[in-house]
Structure 1
Amino acid sequence: MRIPKKIFVIGLIALVAISVFVFFQRSAPKQPEFTTVQKADIKQTVSISGSLAGQSSIDLKFPKGGKITSISVSEGDTVYEGQTLAALENTNEMITLQQADNTLRDKQAAVDKVLDDIHLSQYGMGGFDNVGSGNETMAQRQLRTAAEVTRDNAFDSLKLAQKALNDTLIISPTSGIVVQVNHVTGQVIGATEVVMKMVDTSNIYFSAEVDEADISKISLGQKTEVTLDAYPDKIWQGEVVEVQPQTKTTSTGATVVSVKIKLDRWDLNFINGLSGQASIILSEVKNTLTIPTEALRDDNTVLVLSDGRAKSKQIVPGIRSDQAVEIKEGLEENETIIIGKAF
C-alpha cells in the first residue's frame, strides 16, 4: 500500500523537528552550579568488595564409614566445643570398650595383689622399714614387672577401644554455627564424605580482594568501615589483620591480593558469605575545609564567585575522598564556588 505524499511529507517534517530539538538539547551548555566551602570530616579510602566469614570454616566427617544413627543438629544451630553432633552405628565398639575396661581393671587388681604379696613378704622379713622396691628379690621384681606390663598393655587396648568408639562420633572441635548438613539418619556413608560444615564464629571477618595497584597503600592495623548488601543502613568498624603474601588472578583477568578485616563487633545472626563492601581508611582529617571533587580543576584552581563575577583562585589541596577534597590553603569557609563553566 502506497503512503499518500502529503502524509509522508508531514511525517518527514516531524522527524526532522524532533531530531533538531534533541540535538540542541544535548548541545546546550550545562548551567553552572553553586556551592560553598564547608567544614567537614574527610576520609581518604580504598574501596573493596568481599564477603563475611568466621574465624575458620570446618568440614566435619567421620574417620570411618558406616551407617548414620543420629544427627543432632540442623543448619543454623549454634554448637559448642566438645558437643556430639552425629553418630554412626557403634554397638560393637561400645562392647569392645567395655571389655577393654574390664580387662584393665582385672590386670590392675593383679598388680595390686603382687605388690601386696611382695610388701607382706618384705615386712615379715624385716618390718615396715624393709618394705619397698629397693628390697625386692629378683623373683619378686620379675613377678611385679610381668604384672605391670600386662596392666600397661590392657591400658593401651582401652585407649584403642576408646579411639574406635570416638571414630563413630562427630564431636564439635570448637564453638560456632552449623552452616550445612549434607546427610540424614539412616544413610550409609564412606570415610571421605563431608557430613556437615560449621563456621567458628569466635571472631568475625570480612574477606576481600585488593587490586594490585592499591596494595602498596594497605598495611596491618588500618581502620576500616564495612557495609553489607543485606544491611545497607549499618556500618561495622574493623581493622586490617592479614594481607596474604600471594597474588591471584580473578575470572576477569585482574591481579588481586586477598586481605582479611577483623570486625570489632557483630550484633546480628551470623550468615556465612554475606557480600558487601569495605572502605579501608588511608588517612582522615576532622573538621577541615572541603569542597566537592568536581569543583577542583586539573591545575588546582577553583572558580569563586566574587561581586557577581567568576574569579579563579589557586588552592592547596589535601586528602581526597570519593566526593570531596580537603582545602589546606586558598579558600575560606562559606566562600561561594562555581561547579562547571562560568557564565
Structure 2
Amino acid sequence: MKLKQSSKQSVRGYFKSTFAILILVSAAATGYFFYQTPPLEVSGVQVQRNDMAYIIRVTGEVINDRTVSLTALVNGRVEQVYVARGDLVNKDDTLAAMDNRASMTRLKRAKAVVQQETVRLKEQRQRYNRVSELSNRNLVSVEALDQVKFEMETAQAAVAIAHADAQMRVLEQDWQKLNAPFDAVIVDKWTESGQWVEAGTELFQLVAIEGWEIEANLDAVDTGRIHVGQLVNVTSDAFPDIGWQTKIHWIGPAIERTSARHLNTFPVRMGLGADAPKLLLGQQLDIEIVIEERGDVLRLPYSALREREPGHFEVALVEQGVIRLQPVESGLETDTHVEILSGVQEGQQVALFDSGYLENGRTARFAAKHDQD
C-alpha cells in the first residue's frame, strides 16, 4: 500500500515538472518571437508652425435678373428687323416693325368717325337749344323737350365711343413696333423680315446693361459664417493673370435643396467688382470667401489625427521606437489641416494613421524618408 502511494507521488511530480518546462518553453518562444518581429514602418510628419485660413471655395456665375423676352403683340407680318444678336440698344429703340398698313387704315377710319359723330352732336345741341327756347315760351310740350335732350345725350355718348375707338387704333399703331424697355444687349433673336407671326410669338431676348452680378450657391452648413459686406476673391480661367475682389450684397432667404446631388445650399450674390475684366453673361468664375485667418499656429494634416470620440482627437507619437497615443486639442479646420492648440510641441514627429493599425506600446519606426507638413 505504501509502495502504490509513493508511485502516485512520483507521477504527480513528473507531470508538474513537465508542465513547468512547457511554460518556460512557451515564454521563451514568445519572447523570441517578440524580439524577432520587426517594428512597424510608418510614414510621419513633423509638427510645424504656419499660417492657416478657413476658405470657402465655390463656382459662381454672372447673372442678371433683368432679362426679358419680347413677343409680338398683334398678328401680322414682320416688316423690318433693325437689330442683330449681340447689339447694344437704348431704351425705346425700335427693334422691329410690323406691317402697319391695315392698322393705319383703321386709325384713319376711327378719326373720321370721331369727326362725323362730333358734327352730329353739334346738330343735336343746336336742336336742343331751339326746342328749349320754345319750351320756355310754352310752344312745345315737355315730352318734345325730353326727346331732343335724349337725342343730344345719345350723340354725346357716340362721340365718346368714337374717341375711345380712335385711341385704341393709336395704341394698335404702337403695337406694330417692338421697342427696348431699357438699355440692354440683344442676347437672342428669333425673327426675320417678312416672317408672319401671331400675337405672343417670342421675337427677342434682352438683358439689361445695368445690374449684372455674380451668384454662387454655398453649403447650408456655412450660413452662420456668411454676412453682407463680406469680401470675396474672384478669379477666372478666361483671365488667368487677373484676380479681383468684390463684396457680398445679398444672401438668399431660404435653403434650397438640390435633388440631383441631395445637397442643401443657399444663394449669395455680389457685384462684379470695380476691377473686374469684361465678363459675359453666364460666365463661370472661381469664388473664394475667407472666413477666418490665423497666423503662426501649430498644425497637422487630417491623416495625422484620429477621432477618439466626437470632437476629441489623438495623435500617434513615436518615442524611442514605441508608439504613444497622445490626446490633442484641435482648433481651426481647413480643407487639409487642423490647428493644434495643445498636446504636442513644434518639431515633434507623429505617425500618419494611414500607415497601418497604430496602438499604444507597439514598436514602430519612421520610413527612411517621411512626409513633411
TM range (shorter): 0.5 to 0.7
Distance in 2, matches of 1:326 and 1:121, equals 105
What SS does the corresponding residue of 2:331 show, helix, strand or coil? strand
The 3 A distance-change label for structure 1 pair 100 and 57 is: same
Q: Displacement of 1:55 after TM fit? A: 1.5
Kindly provide the amino acid, as one letter, of the partner of residue 77 in structure 1: D
Contact 2:48 / 2:300 at 8 angstroms: preserved in 1?
no
The 3 A distance-change label for structure 1 pair 35 and 245 is: closer
Give the unaligned 5+ runs of structure 2: 1-40, 137-144, 307-311, 318-323, 352-365
Query: 1:275-295: CA deviations, max 9, x gaps?
Result: 2343456x435x655455628
Contact 1:37 / 1:336 at 8 angstroms: preserved in 2?
no
State whether structure 2 residue 36 is matched by structure 1 residue 36: no
Distance in 2, matches of 1:196 and 1:207, equals 25
TM-score by length of 1: 0.62
Query: 1:112-140: CA deviations, max 9, x gaps?
Result: 787799899999x99xxxxxxxxxx7567
Where do 1:17-28 residues align within 5 Å?
Answer: none
Match of 2:98 among 88, 107, 132: 88
Kindly provide the amino acid, as one letter, of the partner of residue 174 in structure 1: F
Percent of aligned pairs sharing the same letter: 14
**2:80 corresponds to which residue?**
70
Match of 1:276 among 263, 274, 285: 285
Aligned residue pairs total: 287
Distance in 2, matches of 1:325 and 1:280, equals 19
Contact 1:210 / 1:259 at 8 angstroms: preserved in 2?
yes
Match of 1:55 among 36, 41, 65: 65
State whether structure 2 residue 182 is matched by structure 1 residue 174: yes
The 3 A distance-change label for structure 1 pair 207 and 315 is: same
Kindly provide the amino acid, as one letter, of the partner of residue 203 in structure 1: G
Contact 2:214 / 2:272 at 8 angstroms: preserved in 1?
no
The 3 A distance-change label for structure 1 pair 316 and 292 is: closer
**1:294 corresponds to which residue?**
301
Distance in 2, matches of 1:262 and 1:173, equals 25
**1:242 corresponds to which residue?**
252
Give the unaligned 5+ runs of structure 1: 1-27, 127-136, 305-310
Q: Aligned-residue CA RMSD in angstroms?
A: 4.6
Contact 1:302 / 1:338 at 8 angstroms: preserved in 2?
no
Distance in 1, matches of 2:279 and 2:121, equals 55
**1:261 corresponds to which residue?**
269
The 3 A distance-change label for structure 1 pair 249 and 280 is: farther
Contact 2:299 / 2:338 at 8 angstroms: preserved in 1?
yes
Structure 1 or 2, whichever has the larger Rg, is 2
**2:331 corresponds to which residue?**
317
